[in-house]
Amino acid sequence: MILNPAKAILIPSKTALLICDMQEKFAKVIYEFNKIVTHSSKLIQACKILDIPMIVTEQYPKALGKTISELNISGAKGPFPKTQFSMYTSEVCKELSSLCNNEPPASIILIGIESHVCVENTAIDLKKNGFEVHTVADCCSSRTKEDKLLALERMRQIGCFIASSENIIFKLLGDAKHKDFKQIQGLIKNINTD
């Protein structure tokens, strides 16, 4: 599939971050969990600096726990509990409808777990409903590497942009003259991504 390059652009005032089910009980079973937490934390901090609105969900939190404390989700909408295997719930749809200056965002940055279940189903629902989706590969995972990689490939096939957290941050900045560039540059330099 050849995608329109213009749709790959992220305009901060028309972009939102969706954080899918980054919960406590997943910590010991998800492939490279610590790495996705590091990258997700960096991306969330950058989005806070750039005033990108965020929505958080939690899959059946009674059993799977709350969103991990390492992620600063203060100011985000939610967390919204859910049982369906997609973030595209009625509560999230309601929030999306007016999230960016009383309008829906044009682009969604999507992170979380598991890549092949809730993240992929969220991407499908978002694409079906007209959103451009930027799935952040280093901020998503599954219990197995294979499920993660296959999910990213399927998301690419349905027209999602597959990116890294740094790629997304620099797309949002757009220019080294951006007023927040130095602050975000420091954030990127100070986080060990190994």
Count Cβ neighbours within 10 Å for each residue of 89-102 and write b for 16 or more, e otherwise.
Answer: beebeebbeebbee
Torsion sign across C-alpha atoms 4, 122, 18, 29: negative
Torsion sign across C-alpha atoms 18, 24, 30, 34: positive
* Catalytic (active site) residue 82: yes
Q: Which residues pair with 103 in a beta bridge?
A: 100
Burial of 145 (0-12, 13-18, 19+ CB in 10 A): exposed
How many CB atoms lie under 10 A from the CB of residue 36?
25
* Catalytic (active site) residue 160: no
* Catalytic (active site) residue 47: no
Q: Which residues pair with 23 in a beta bridge?
A: 67
Candidates 21, 125, 138, 171; catalytic one:
21
Candidates 20, 42, 47, 82; catalytic one:
82
Q: What is the CA radius of gyration of the chain?
A: 15
In angstroms, the Cα distances linking 86 to 7, 18, 95, 110, 192 are: 23, 11, 15, 12, 31
Residues serving a catalytic function are 21, 82, 118
